[in-house]
């Protein structure tokens, strides 16, 4: 039986929530990125990594990018959570293109989440407030700018367990 490890990095709780749902479905081990024991990784055949989008970069993706050699005989899967609606397929494709190492064939899954100002780091809150001011001041906003403004204005949670199904199906296919 193949062993699955789920590693995640979550600043405001959304990726952690998705990680917990995935863990429940797959009955796998999960660990926060900061607690990963590199000596233990050899025990696992499948490693799933998840992080939140942070200015178009997947939080913690360095864990995958820096360890491609170590992971070469394993199945690696990456997921990201973000405020962008999953229906914005071009934006989500750019997340994949700019974060998943070229030629690695690592499957990428994207789950819409939300914004959590309560648990946000001070620097991130400042960054979002600047972006809000810039967008608010802009006249004749295009649909992307208006959509971004709507997506970052307040705290909200659009996470849904149903979004993880394609990832779960993919992993179950590897386990079969």
CB-nearer residue toward ligand FMN: 10 or 107: 10
Q: Which tokens go with 172?
A: 């179950």
CB-nearer residue toward ligand FMN: 74 or 117: 117
- Least Å distance between CB 162 and ligand FMN? 16
The whole-angstrom distance between residue 146's C-alpha and the CA centroid of its chain comes to 23
- Least Å distance between CB 112 and ligand FMN? 8
Q: Which tokens go with 20?
A: 């917990």
Under the rule (CB under 6 A), what is the footprint of ligand FMN?
A: 10-16, 52-56, 59, 81-84, 113-116, 120, 124, 127-128
Query: On the CB side of 11, how many CA atoms lie within 13 Å of its CA?
Result: 21
> What is the rounded distance in angstroms from the CA atom of residue 77 to the CA atom of residue 96?
12
Question: CB nearest ligand FMN: which residue?
Answer: 52
């Amino acid at each position: 039986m193949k062993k699955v490890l789920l590693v995640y990095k979550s600043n405001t709780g959304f990726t952690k929530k998705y990680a917990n749902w995935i863990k429940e479905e797959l009955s796998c081990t999960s660990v926060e990125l900061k607690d990963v024991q590199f000596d233990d990784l050899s025990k696992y055949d499948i490693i799933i990594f998840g992080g939140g989008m942070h200015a178009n970069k997947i939080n913690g993706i360095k864990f995958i990018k820096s360890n491609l050699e170590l992971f070469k005989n394993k199945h690696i899967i990456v997921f990201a959570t973000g405020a962008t609606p999953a229906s914005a397929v071009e934006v989500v494709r750019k997340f994949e293109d700019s974060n998943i190492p070229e030629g690695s064939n690592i499957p990428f899954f994207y789950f819409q989440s939300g914004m959590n100002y309560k648990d946000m780091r001070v620097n991130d809150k400042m960054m979002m407030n600047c972006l809000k001011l810039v967008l608010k001041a802009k006249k004749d906003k295009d649909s992307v700018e208006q959509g971004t403004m709507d997506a970052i204005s307040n705290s909200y949670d659009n996470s849904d367990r149903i979004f993880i199904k394609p990832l779960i199906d993919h992993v179950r296919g590897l386990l079969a």
